[in-house]
Homo-oligomer: A and B are copies of this chain.
Amino acid sequence: MTTRPPTPNAPAWIETLRWNDDGLIPAVVQDSTTGAVLMFAWMNREALVRSLATGQTHFYSRSRQALWHKGATSGHVQEIIELRVDCDADVLLVRVRQHGGACHEGYTSCFFRKLDGDRLIVDADRRFDPASVYL
């Protein structure tokens, strides 16, 4: 765990979070209406501060090494309804109102496959065509 200097104007509770060695914290995103777990992503401190400031989820993309405003391209933004912190202060649970679908493959949730015996099956319907959203 790394110790970092406080971010100016960040609320004190953010300083109690335990970021990993890369300065990231896992964020589980849940639909606040249906309870469906929509996706899992990482936030750095800036992503969290921006999420709080805008009321919409921002994450940190480890592959692109860049801040990422969820829905900026697709319009499928997530309005933050509630933010929760786990016992060890090293995981966030973000309860949201999801616009469109959370998954870039066109599904409401990224968890559209389930284990059925010894294989994975898709048991959800696509709610949008990815090709028409991500041009």
Contact = CB atoms under 8 A, between A and B. Distances in A.
Interface of A: 11-13, 16, 26, 28, 30, 34-37, 39-40, 82-88, 91, 93, 103-105, 107, 110-115, 118-120
Nearest to A115: B83
B114 A87 contact: no
A115 B37 contact: no
A85 B37 contact: no
Given A103-B87, A110-B87, A82 B39 contact: no
Main secondary structure of the interface of A (DSSP, over half): mixed
10 contacts: A11-B118, A13-B119, A26-B40, A35-B36, A37-B37, A39-B86, A40-B86, A82-B114, A84-B113, A85-B113
Contacts of A34: 35
Contacts of A37: 28, 30, 37, 93
Contacts of A93: 37, 111
A113 to B, nearest CB: 5
